[in-house]
Amino acid sequence: MHPDAELMLTEFFTQLTVEVRASEHTVKSYRRDIKHLSSYCTDKGITQWADLQHTTIRAHIAGRHRKGLSSKSLQRELSAIRSFYNYLLKKGLVSANPAQHIQAPKQTRKLPKTLDVDQLSGLLEAGASSLLEIRDLAMFELFYSSGLRLSELSALDLTDLDLPDNSLTVRMGKGGKSRILPVGSKAVTAIENWLQQRSIKIPAADSALFVSTRGTRLGQRNIELRLEQWCKNKSIAEHIHPHMLRHSFASHLLESSQDLRAVQELLGHSNISTTQIYTHLDFQHLAEIYDKAHPRAKKKPL
């Protein structure tokens, strides 16, 4: 790039650091991202920032995409380029922002992994023979019964339960939103068993529903480790993490009810598009049944 173009870049980063007070991480990321653009311009014989066109930025991003960059990384690079050109616009050094309306290629959305009903039964009916296992079973039953997030289960207090009404209240869900959820009979029984043991063997416990043997609230990482230990003790080969129980709850409920709005409410999703990923899971399940059962769907032998 021309020395004048390099000076503009230096002044942009000075402004970003001193005036905007951007974090060190942001400045470092922007430097790296715009350096890629600068290298592209050098390869193409472009020496001034004002010479870049909409098509130039698009070609640069397409090239980065071909090199394997994710949609998230490309979005960040475009954000850096837009910020730089907005700075140049304010200074009157360019007449337009060539990155303004360019979008990164959409990321292929990965479908969440779920367990089928038989796998869930194997997990939850393996039996609990110790204090910790009685507590753990209550946690896992509640995960699957009510579709809780890991953070929500960890944050539950005794006062959030209404077992006679088969319900609980999530007071601080994602985004600070609260919601009331049903609790299934299996989960109610498991929780009652845990509360009975808790009152006898852990008398000094705090207000948390799920506590350690010392009476302190179980953290999210502790709950993850307990699920890993449960699977190991019960000889369950599948790698299962807490969110798989939430995904399974959503998938099984949608498969049976076909009520997307109800599932959205139960999961606590603010946007129904987040819940719609489970419709893909449901279709995937139906497609598998179709492939196996429909006489005209079976693949031809090779």
Q: Which of 36, 64, 149, 252 is catalytic?
A: 149
pLDDT of residue 270: 76
Pick the CATH number of 3-90 from 2.40.50.360, 1.10.150.130, 3.40.50.300, 1.10.10.60: 1.10.150.130
Q: Which token pair is 135?
A: 């507590």
The mean pLDDT value for 276-288 works out to 61
Listed by start position, the domains of the chain span 3-90, 118-240
**Span of 99-108, 192-201, 241-250, 271-280 with lowest mean pLDDT:** 271-280
Q: Report which of residues 296 and 55 the model is more confident about.
A: 55
The mean pLDDT value for 207-228 works out to 93
174 an active-site residue?
Answer: yes
Is the pLDDT at 152 greater than 70? The verdict is: yes
CATH 1.10.443.10 fits 118-240, yes or no: yes
28 an active-site residue?
Answer: no
CA 10, CA 13: separation in Å to the nearest integer?
Answer: 5
pLDDT of residue 280: 64
Task: Please provide the DSSP assignment of 84-145 as one string.
Answer: HHHHHHHTTS-S--TTTT--PPPPPPPPPP---HHHHHHHHTS---SHHHHHHHHHHHHHHH
pLDDT of residue 86: 94
- Please choose, from the candidates 132, 135, 144, the residue with its C-alpha nearest in 3D space to the C-alpha of residue 192: 135
pLDDT of residue 174: 74
Q: Report which of residues 227 and 283 the model is more confident about.
A: 227
pLDDT digit string, tens, across residues 157-216: 999 999 999 999 998 777 778 899 999 999 999 999 999 999 888 877 789 999 998 899
pLDDT band at 290 (very low <50, low <70, confident <90, very high): low
Q: Which of 28, 174, 177, 221 is catalytic?
A: 174
243 an active-site residue?
Answer: yes
Is the pLDDT at 115 greater than 90? The verdict is: no
Q: Which are the contacts of 248, defined by CB distance < 8 A and separation ≥ 6? A: 114, 115, 120, 144
179 an active-site residue?
Answer: no
pLDDT of residue 281: 57
pLDDT digit string, tens, across residues 37-69: 999 999 999 999 999 999 999 999 999 988 888
Q: Which of 60, 226, 246, 247 is catalytic?
A: 246
278 an active-site residue?
Answer: yes
pLDDT digit string, tens, across residues 90-112: 999 999 999 998 988 776 666 67
CA 279, CA 269: separation in Å to the nearest integer?
Answer: 14
Q: Are 201 and 131 in contact (CB under 8 A)?
A: yes
Residues forming beta bridges with residue 179, ordered by sequence position:
170
186 Cα distance to chain centroid: 28
pLDDT of residue 272: 76
CA 183, CA 186: separation in Å to the nearest integer?
Answer: 8
